[in-house]
Amino acid sequence: MTKFFLQSDIVEIVNGLGKSVKEFSGKTIILTGGRGFLGRYFIEVFNYLSKNLLEKPIRLIVLDNLIASGREGLNIPVYENISFINHNVIEPFKFEGEVDFIIHAAGIASPFYYKKFPIETLEVSILGTKNMLTLAEQNKSRFCFFSSSEIYGDPDPKKIPIKESYRGNVSCQGPRACYDESKRVGETLSDIYFNYKGLHTNTIRPFNIYGPGMQETDYRVLPNFASQIKRNLPLNIYGSGNQTRTFCYVTDAIIGFLLVILKGKGGEAYNIGNSGPEISIIDLAKILKEVSLKNVQYKITEYPSTYPEDEPNRRLPDISKALKDLSFKPQISLREGLKRFLNWSELYYSSDK
Ligand code: UDP
């Protein structure tokens, strides 16, 4: 059976991290949202490190309430030293023993799902973050909050590429507000715990991460397009199709995340993504046609009622801070990443949905 990840990608992540991973030896880590797209990668990487590289294994406690994790999320692996607890982080979490790192990746990140679950989206970023910061304070754990590039909203074109210092342009009432605003509050909470409580906190702002493991029922652009390519259907482009994104392959992203978790400067937020190419969704469809070697057609459509409009027109990160502080340098070109993703989705996705 096709796995949700490529084993060579896990090795690529570990090799990309170099010696710094030794700091995880014998450590206890709590990972929230551990059955989501990114969380599942952390589990595989930590398991690989414990089995192959570290002197002492990592003890990993994975929390998730499985609300948006898809079929793969329910397929919980049984690994030594890794335990899963079905827990909604909006409830306080008690843990006996020391915790070295808390990776707070729980959240509802796909626009389809945050439109469907706006209250849950808001609560996980606000109450969930508060609960996990309380736990971090009790244990003096290093704390890492997964925020989003959505906190910048629809950026002023003069501010692109977007630096971490840009304050954003976000509506508090728009269809994306439940996600954008709650991630902003999560960042504020992390910042308060850094400034007032002396906790080592970091914030990560991922920019359109993609790769094997994205569920067909995720409904973000690349799983939708890959699913349509597999079924020989035209790609549905929402809006004008001129809106842009900058996509980052998952191995580069996970390396960036782990570098922040290990080496991020206290209190800092980091953009993690690719510094180019910034492409329109129409151009993405054209590149997919080339990469898939199939006769891919696309059509421009209205936004479906399930998808939040009022989206950012452009999204391109400035990643120079992560380069300077963490030596983060993405390696995988867009075409190479898309090739890996499409090869995987051809095997993993269903032929009829
Ligand atoms: N999009 C699209 N067709 C789809 C899904 C998304 O044209 O089937 C567009 C969407 O309007 C946005 C971009 O692709 O401009 C990226 O959307 P996604 O949902 O992946 O995430 P976002 O970057 O908006 O958070």
pLDDT at 353 over 60: no
pTM, entire model:
0.98
Determine the Cα–Cα distance for residues 187 and 206; give it in Å rounded to an integer. Answer: 13
Examine the residue annotation and report whether 219 is marked as an active-site residue of this protein.
no
Q: Are 95 and 29 in contact (CB under 8 A)?
A: no
Tell the residue nearest (CA) to atom 10 of ligand 1: 238
Distance in Å, CA 208 to ligand 1 centroid:
10
Q: Tell me the backbone φ, ψ of residue 342, rounded to 5 degrees.
A: -70, -40
Give the model confidence (pLDDT) of 2-39 as tens digits.
899 999 999 999 999 999 999 999 999 999 999 999 99
Determine the Cα–Cα distance for residues 36 and 218; give it in Å rounded to an integer. Answer: 10
Q: Any residues with Cβ below 6 Å from ligand 1, and which?
A: 111, 208, 220-221, 224, 236-239, 243, 245, 281, 311
| Ligand 1 atom nearest residue 315's Cα | 23
- Per-residue pLDDT at 39: 98
- Per-residue pLDDT at 53: 97
Determine the Cα–Cα distance for residues 20 and 237; give it in Å rounded to an integer. Answer: 42
